[in-house]
């Protein structure tokens, strides 16, 4: 793996600006500081439906782009840990009226968080606290922010200190006090479990604070996990409070909190937990046995509720049985509790701390000063796999550990070396983890286009003999609402809601792993024959034992895009994709300081090799703006993450430039861009000029290749002359050979600057089309001199100059042959794009009785532009020549495209023929 690199660590923690303090930002900061002061004055808890809003839409819990450490005065340390320190804080430069407005500012040092491998715990804590911010009995995350070295969580200040301290001083609580505080815990667990699907997993007196009104506040959410009815296996918690299922490692869910709650009630009433021994193993034996011994003075109702909570059988455990938290709230021990009044804090708590002022810290210990010298947060520690739409990031070290864990989990459900595992996901973290997990196992990753319909998925899976399918609950496509995959899964496996997976459509299919990306729109729990991605991932992150891998093993089967025909399954190896990715990064001069914005899909070679492999081999960061291409999200990602590189095909770049041209996206934040890749199809010269001028892509490279060549065989360099980057696709990649052959006689090699079909040879060639020897033989031909050496016929017309630069003049099948004369669509397309009213243009040949074929142009106009067919024809005649003038001009809003954004010209031809029948194309 590449070095561990990290740029943002917390979920939804926005990056503050550097040293520049723009006037707009200053105003936003001052406005936000005033909002903090206003909130602190009221501290009103939110209703349940208000808490469940997106944190960015709430008064609390949001991620701030503007707050900084210097916006706060640090008064005194309230607590310390191995990687964090909590300060009593006040707003800096405050008004006199705000002097009593106090907060707890948790400061986490990135270096220590990473070194101690606590990134996941910190992320979980921030995520959950943001989601539950506003609950009356959970510490309120008011806001979060970060700078280059440090993460910050601004919390409400609870001056009473830990419940544990009061319990030790009192030795035990009386029954009314225990009932009151236990009732507040019930309301916490009810909300966490039933509204958020979160297991807290660390309930104990040390994690409960008392606020100024004597109410509880639950803190320390590092072990909290969103599991939503699933089971997890991580061992965490305090020995005396662990549930039996955690100790037995049989999988646990939210029921562990109800067990710990029973222990807590017991400790409130007795002063110590029911299970205790100096030897932790003895404690575990007592817990698993599950026999609670009660003091004779304890009331029968108290004994009954503790017994109902601390039962080893989770199917009988109070709170976990049918009815959930209501079964606890209705227990006789709570008969005097008015739950609505309690939630709205209409009474004081039984223990109200004695305080001299709002900033009184008498209930907290004294701590040593913070060490002056700290390890620096270096570039090598920053995040490198960033999913903007999920607000999730991974360092390479985390990616390594998570992919190890997933590999072990996949082994546990039957995946083995050589198995074909189909993955139907958009650009997300789960796809990133699954890629490396399968590579490490030696299983064969088969990315599927998420837009495939059920027939396409079944056809692909049957063709490959897919053993496992990893798929999202929803599919997100460009410019379309999310599509539920439930119906598709029901077609594949009609008993998907039952207990065991069976598929007549795909007999080889053993298991479906479900990634829940639906934000609650799809109830994944009802698909009982599937297993959740999180459950498969929930294991050890240690490295795998030797799997008997070989560099020439097939580990990626890519379906070709199908611009001219039906897709084929190209078999690629460890050696071909890893080396190709490395060479691509070399051509771009990528380093660990680069941030690559990658809108192209991971299920295509552009995303998974030009993107994922190129960045990983150079320690660069990669940003996935959205699951499917979204021009707005792409530009935002460039701005927010200070991207230095931007990837795309011509149609993607055109959509992004349109948003800048019409003012949808302000022209700012693009100054860090220097390079990128334009690929997928020929890039018009006019577009290249706009990308240099508008997006600062002065070192933009052009990459040429095909799925079957892993994929890049030619590429320009960042310092190639601009004319070479406009007119050619660069020179051959290292260890690659190419020749231009006669289309009619492929044994004949053509000379310099002669046009013919490009053929490629080298390490990068696919092994075969899976299960298709006929089409393999058509595409791969043996060398005349060395039968073991194979050449891949690209199907592209090309020429090579004396310096080795390759020019692609079009698909051989796309050539328009008008009266025996070859017309290259790209030449006409470049001409049309130079017209100020034209946004996009694509040219094909349509049948004609006189000439055999004639030029037809499909044109997308700029919004509001005026243009007619005669103007188009005059323009081409003036700029080029008469035989290149389009006979037919069709006005369209978009084109049929492959998943990678390439225009499917065979579909345009079909559309053109139909439009001609309808009498269109002349005006």
Element (DSSP H or E) covering residue 350: none
Q: Three-state DSSP class for 175?
A: helix
Closest CA to 62 of 39, 91, 95, 30: 39
Q: Which residues of 816-850 are buried (b: 16+ CB within 10 A; e: fewer)?
A: bebeeeebbbbebbbbbbebebbbbbbbbbbeeee
Q: Do 58 and 50 touch, CB atoms closer than 8 A?
A: yes
- Two tokens, residue 436: 């490396």
How far is the C-alpha of 271 from the C-alpha of 562, rounded, in Å?
71
How far is the C-alpha of 673 from the C-alpha of 620, rounded, in Å?
14
Q: Three-state DSSP class for 306?
A: helix
How far is the C-alpha of 585 from the C-alpha of 590, rounded, in Å?
5
- Two tokens, residue 287: 């817990």
Count of Cβ atoms closer than 10 Å to residue 529 Cβ? 19
Please give, one letter per residue, the 3-state secondary structure of 202-216. Answer: CCCHHHEEECCCCCE
Q: Do 816 and 845 touch, CB atoms closer than 8 A?
A: yes
- Please state the φ and ψ torsions of residue 185, each to the nearest 5 degrees: -65, -40
Alpha helices in 12-100 (DSSP H): 23-42, 48-51
How far is the C-alpha of 611 from the C-alpha of 600, rounded, in Å?
8
How far is the C-alpha of 521 from the C-alpha of 473, rounded, in Å?
9
How far is the C-alpha of 716 from the C-alpha of 646, rounded, in Å?
15
Provide the sign of the torsion angle of the four alpha carbons 831, 834, 835, 839, taken in this order. Answer: positive
How far is the C-alpha of 825 from the C-alpha of 814, rounded, in Å?
7
Alpha helices in 589-715 (DSSP H): 605, 614-616, 631-640, 650-661, 685-694
Alpha helices in 558-630 (DSSP H): 574-588, 605, 614-616
106 is in an annotated binding site: yes
Q: Three-state DSSP class for 298?
A: coil
- CA 878, chain centre distance (Å): 49
Catalogue the active-site residues.
Answer: 202, 204, 207, 220, 238
Alpha helices in 311-415 (DSSP H): 326-329, 339-343, 396-412
Q: Around 757, how many Cα atoms within 13 Å sit in the side-chain half-sphere? A: 18
Closest CA to 604 of 387, 900, 386, 903: 900
Measured CA distances, 515 to 174, 386, 413, 426, 875 (Å): 48, 18, 16, 11, 51
Element (DSSP H or E) covering residue 901: none
Binding-site residues: 106
Binding-site residues for ATP: 106
């Amino acid at each position: 793996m590449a070095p561990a690199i990290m740029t943002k660590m917390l979920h939804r923690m926005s990056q503050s600006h550097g040293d520049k303090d723009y006037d707009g930002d200053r105003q936003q900061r001052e406005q936000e500081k005033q909002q903090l002061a206003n909130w602190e004055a009221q501290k009103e808890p939110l209703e349940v439906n208000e808490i469940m809003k997106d944190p960015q839409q709430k008064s609390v819990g949001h991620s701030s782009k503007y707050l900084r450490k210097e916006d706060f005065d640090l008064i005194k340390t309230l607590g310390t840990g191995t990687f964090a320190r909590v300060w009593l804080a006040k707003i800096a430069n405050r008004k006199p009226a705000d002097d009593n407005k106090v907060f707890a500012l948790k400061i986490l040092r990135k270096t220590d968080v990473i070194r101690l491998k606590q990134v996941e715990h910190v992320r979980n804590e921030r995520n959950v606290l943001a989601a539950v911010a506003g609950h009356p009995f959970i510490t309120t995350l008011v806001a979060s922010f970060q700078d280059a070295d440090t993460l910050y969580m601004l919390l409400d200040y609870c001056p009473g200190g830990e419940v544990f301290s009061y319990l030790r001083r009192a030795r035990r609580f009386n029954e009314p006090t225990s009932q009151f505080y236990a009732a507040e815990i019930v309301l916490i667990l009810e909300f966490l479990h039933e509204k958020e699907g979160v297991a807290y997993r660390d309930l104990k007196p040390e994690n409960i604070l008392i606020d100024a009104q004597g109410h509880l506040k639950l803190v320390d959410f590092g072990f909290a996990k969103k599991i939503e009815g699933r089971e997890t296996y991580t061992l965490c918690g305090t020995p005396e409070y662990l549930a039996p299922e955690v100790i037995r490692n049989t999988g646990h869910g939210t029921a562990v909190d109800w067990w710990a709650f029973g222990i807590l009630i017991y400790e409130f009433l007795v002063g110590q937990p029911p299970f205790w021994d100096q030897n932790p193993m003895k404690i575990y034996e007592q817990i698993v046995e599950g026999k609670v011994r009660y003091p004779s003075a304890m009331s029968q109702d108290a004994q009954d509720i503790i017994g109902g909570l601390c039962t080893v059988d989770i199917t009988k455990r109070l709170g976990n049985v049918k009815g959930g938290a209501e079964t606890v709230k209705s227990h006789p021990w709570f008969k005097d509790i008015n739950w609505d009044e309690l939630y709205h804090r209409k009474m004081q708590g039984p223990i109200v701390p004695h305080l001299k002022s709002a900033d009184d810290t008498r209930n907290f210990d004294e701590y040593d000063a913070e060490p002056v010298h700290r390890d620096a947060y270096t570039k090598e520690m920053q995040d490198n796999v960033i999913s903007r739409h999920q607000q999730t990031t991974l360092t390479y070290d985390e990616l390594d550990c998570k992919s190890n864990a997933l590999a072990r989990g996949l082994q546990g459900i039957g995946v083995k070396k050589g198995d074909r595992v189909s993955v139907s996901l958009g650009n997300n973290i789960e796809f990133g983890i699954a890629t490396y997990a399968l590579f490490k196992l030696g299983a064969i990753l088969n990315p599927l286009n998420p837009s495939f319909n059920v027939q396409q998925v079944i056809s692909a899976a049957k063709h490959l003999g897919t053993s496992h399918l990893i798929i999202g609950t929803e599919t997100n496509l460009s410019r379309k609402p999310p599509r539920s995959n439930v119906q598709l899964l029901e077609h594949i496996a009609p008993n998907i809601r039952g207990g065991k997976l069976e598929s007549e459509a795909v007999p080889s299919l053993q298991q479906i792993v479900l990634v829940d990306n639906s934000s609650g729109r799809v109830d994944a729990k009802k698909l009982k024959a599937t297993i959740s991605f999180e459950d498969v991932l929930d294991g050890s992150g240690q490295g795998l034992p030797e799997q008997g891998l070989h560099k020439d093993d097939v580990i990626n089967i890519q379906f070709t895009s199908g611009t001219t025909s039906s897709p084929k399954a190209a078999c690629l190896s460890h050696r071909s994709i890893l080396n190709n990715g490395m060479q691509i990064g070399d051509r771009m001069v990528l380093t660990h300081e680069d941030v690559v914005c990658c809108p192209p899909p991971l299920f295509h070679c552009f995303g998974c090799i030009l993107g994922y492999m190129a960045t990983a081999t150079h320690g660069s960061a990669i940003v996935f703006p959205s699951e499917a291409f979204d021009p707005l999200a792409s530009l935002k990602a460039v701005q927010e993450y200070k991207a230095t590189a931007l990837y795309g095909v011509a149609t993607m770049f055109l959509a992004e430039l349109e948003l800048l041209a019409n003012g949808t996206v302000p022209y700012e934040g693009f100054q860090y861009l220097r390079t990128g890749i334009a690929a997928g199809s020929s890039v018009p010269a006019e577009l290249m000029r706009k990308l240099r001028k508008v997006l600062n892509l002065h070192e933009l490279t052009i990459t040429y290749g095909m799925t079957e060549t892993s994929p890049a065989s030619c590429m320009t360099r960042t310092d190639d002359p601009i004319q070479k980057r406009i007119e050619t696709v660069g020179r051959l990649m290292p260890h690659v050979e190419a020749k231009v052959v006669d289309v009619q006689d492929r044994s004949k090699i053509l000379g310099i600057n002669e046009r013919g079909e490009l053929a490629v040879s080298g390490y990068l060639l696919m092994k075969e089309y899976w299960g298709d020897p006929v089409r393999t033989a058509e595409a791969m031909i043996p060398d005349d001199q060395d039968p073991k050496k194979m050449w891949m016929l690209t199907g592209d017309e090309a020429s090579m100059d004396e310096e080795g630069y390759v020019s692609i003049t079009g698909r051989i099948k796309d050539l328009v042959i008008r009266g025996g004369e070859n017309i290259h669509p790209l030449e006409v397309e470049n001409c049309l794009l130079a017209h100020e009213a034209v946004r996009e243009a694509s040219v094909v040949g349509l049948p004609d009785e006189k000439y055999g074929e004639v030029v037809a142009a499909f044109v997308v106009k700029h919004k509001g532009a005026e243009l007619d067919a005669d103007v188009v024809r005059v323009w081409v005649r003036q700029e080029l020549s008469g035989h290149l003038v389009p006979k037919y001009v069709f006005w369209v809003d978009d084109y049929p495209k492959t998943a990678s954004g390439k225009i499917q010209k065979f579909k345009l031809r079909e559309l053109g023929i139909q439009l001609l029948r309808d009498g269109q194309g002349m005006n």
